[in-house]
Amino acid sequence: MEELQRLQVSDLAHLAPELTLVITAIVLSLLDLFLPSRVNRNFVGWLSLVGIAISALFVALDIRELNPIDEATGLLTSLEPVRLLGESFRIDDFANLFKLLLLTGTALIVLMSLGSVKDEDIQHKGEFYYLFLPAVVGAMVMASSGDLITLFVGLELLSITSYIMVGMRKKHLASNESAFKYVVLGGISSAIILYGMSFLYGITGSTNISEINIAISGDYATFEPIIYLAFFLLLAGFGFKIAAAPFHMWAPDVYEGAPTPVTAFLAVVSKAAAFALAFRVLYSVFALGSFLQSDIHEDIFLAVAVLAAIAMIVGNAVALRQVSLKRLLAYSGVANAGYLLVPISTGYDIVHYSNFSEFFFYLIAYLFMNIGIIAIFMMVSNSTKNEEISAFAGLYYRAPGTAVAAVILILSLAGLPITGGFFGKLYILLGTLQVHDYWLAAILIGTSVISFYYYFGIIRQMFMRSTYTESEFQCTLPQQITVWICAAATVAMGIFPGYVLRWIESIVSLSNDFFIR
């Protein structure tokens, strides 16, 4: 048994992104505690943004360190990832890309919350802002985990903080109910994931992901039933965390009852962290090594493909009947979880090895289009005191600029040109056709067409209804900035998709980022 590695002082530099957020959260909690109640707590939000920006800077520096440019050839080279505590924590480019995504999403959500969170809605505004920091730390730990224990610790940090944030509207019964449901169902899903991990530990004697792959791929025939059992338990737990049907039933109620910025956090940041977890574990444990020549490999990816198909069909079909925008976005998120599972289900082989770049491109587009439309929903619901789709009635006549941004974001959600959402779905579709999964490609196309109906229903409200044209349109400058950042990013990804895709492919290395030795 190898001697346990200790964390050295020099290693703290590699943990700078996480430590920055932890220190910021501690400082802000103390400031919030000791400052008089009459002091406006919006400054906590601004300081949270500063902490997130510094953390993102450290992550960006790590990416350049892991992929320096060779002066002789002018090409990107690939260095070994940094392994801490016996590879329990890894700083590799897979993790760094996810961390940038998670930090960007959290920054936009905090930004759109500034000045729009009402005292009568959330009594402890300071807590509301700095609780995002430990939540995103948990998400970042999940992305960097090389060990099942570290992974579970990050998952629970994110989950427990999310439970608290969902119930921040203490005087709202819907918020209390959704928080209770989320705690109960979240605890069950975490227990299912832990149960699946226990089987992997039982047959390998290790919690290290790399060692688990080596152990079970070398003698998978002996443990085949237990491997299947562990996989399906993990898949069920991951399905809950990413809100993929049939494990999605918590999402509509929780999205509807949570404060709107928390809904955005669950829809984007929490979901992205869960996908990082699923991608890392499914590929590094079950998809590499001797599994490539086994029936287990085919069965595992078929199961993921079936889950993706169910999520796409159920999410889009049920969304057709929704009148609450939050519930519509919840079912839209179920459908998008299916779209994001499609490149995971295709696997790596000789003819198709770009599934991570396809997956991550669409995940970036998903982040911007969802946060943008939720920011617009905050403006509309605050103005009309209505959280249904009908609240968008006459938006073009009250705020034409915001309506134009909403159209751009909705077109991206529907997957129409020229937006990031269109090219994200197109790349996923082409990858699916490349591996001859025609049935899955047909479901992707068919469900995307179905989604046009409920997405265009929002546009119809904005331009063809005028119920609320007399009401004053309320918005803050941070909300407007958030909306236009998201709209601009969505259009940029639609105009220059190749640059984004090549950037992702130039950073992530299969040999370094997926535990191949």
> Three-state SS string across 260-298, please?
HHHHHHHHHHHHHHHHHHHHHHHHHHHCCHHHHHCHHHH
pLDDT at res. 32:
85
Instruction: State the helix-helix crossing angle for 148-166 and 173-204, rounded to 10 degrees.
Output: 170
Residue 344 lies in a domain: yes
Per-residue pLDDT, averaged over 432-454, amounts to 92
Domain that holds residue 273: 11-513
Q: How confident is the model at residue 44 (pLDDT cuts 50, 70, 90)?
A: confident
Residue 3 lies in a domain: no
pLDDT at res. 5:
60
pLDDT tens digits along 8-31: 666 777 888 999 999 999 999 998
pLDDT tens digits along 450-486: 999 999 999 998 887 665 545 667 788 999 999 999 9
Residue 127 lies in a domain: yes
pLDDT at res. 78:
54
The answer to which of 119-128, 154-163, 447-456 has the lowest mean pLDDT is: 119-128
pLDDT at res. 512:
61
Q: How confident is the model at residue 88 (pLDDT cuts 50, 70, 90)?
A: confident
Residue 3 clears pLDDT 60, i.e. is over it:
no
- 398 or 330, which is more confident: 330
Which residue from 189, 326, 307 is spatially nearest to 257, judged by alpha carbons? 326
pLDDT at res. 79:
62
Q: How far is CA 97 from CA 140, 202, 272, 422, 511, in A?
A: 10, 32, 11, 21, 16
Per-residue pLDDT, averaged over 213-220, amounts to 76
Residue 334 clears pLDDT 90, i.e. is over it:
yes
Residue 297 lies in a domain: yes
Residue 429 clears pLDDT 80, i.e. is over it:
yes
Residue 5 lies in a domain: no
Per-residue pLDDT, averaged over 412-422, amounts to 91
Residue 1 clears pLDDT 50, i.e. is over it:
no
CA distance 310 to 305: 9
Q: How far is CA 48 from CA 36, 107, 132, 465, in A?
A: 19, 8, 8, 39
pLDDT at res. 89:
86
pLDDT at res. 514:
63
Residue 4 lies in a domain: no
Total domain count for the chain? 1
Work out the percent of the chain whose per-residue pLDDT is above 90.
49
pLDDT at res. 289:
54
pLDDT tens digits along 370-394: 999 999 999 888 888 888 888 888 8
Peptide bond before residue 350 is cis, with ω within 30 degrees of 0? no
- 246 or 350, which is more confident: 246
Name 147's bridge partners: 208
Per-residue pLDDT, averaged over 114-135, amounts to 81
pLDDT at res. 75:
45
Work out the percent of the chain whose per-residue pLDDT is above 70.
88
Per-residue pLDDT, averaged over 336-358, amounts to 84
pLDDT tens digits along 47-70: 999 999 999 999 988 875 445 555
The tokens of 268 are what?
Answer: 């984007």
Per-residue pLDDT, averaged over 33-40, amounts to 80
Residue 507 lies in a domain: yes
pLDDT at res. 360:
93
- 447 or 511, which is more confident: 447
Residue 349 clears pLDDT 50, i.e. is over it:
yes
CA distance 387 to 376: 12
As a whole number, the mean pLDDT across the chain is 85
278-301 burial code (b ≥16 CB/10 A, e <16): bbbbbbbbbbbbbbeebebbeebb
Residue 430 lies in a domain: yes
pLDDT at res. 511:
57
Residue 73 clears pLDDT 60, i.e. is over it:
no
The answer to which of 56-65, 235-244, 254-263 has the lowest mean pLDDT is: 56-65
pLDDT at res. 335:
95
Q: How confident is the model at residue 84 (pLDDT cuts 50, 70, 90)?
A: confident
pLDDT at res. 65:
44
pLDDT at res. 19:
93
Please count the other Cβ atoms lying within 10 Å of the Cβ belonging to residue 13: 12
Judge contact between 380 and 394, C-beta under 8 A: no
The tokens of 35 are what?
Answer: 């400052």
Per-residue pLDDT, averaged over 185-194, amounts to 92
Which residue from 465, 449, 463, 467 is spatially nearest to 320, judged by alpha carbons? 449
pLDDT at res. 53:
95
Judge contact between 112 and 478, C-beta under 8 A: yes
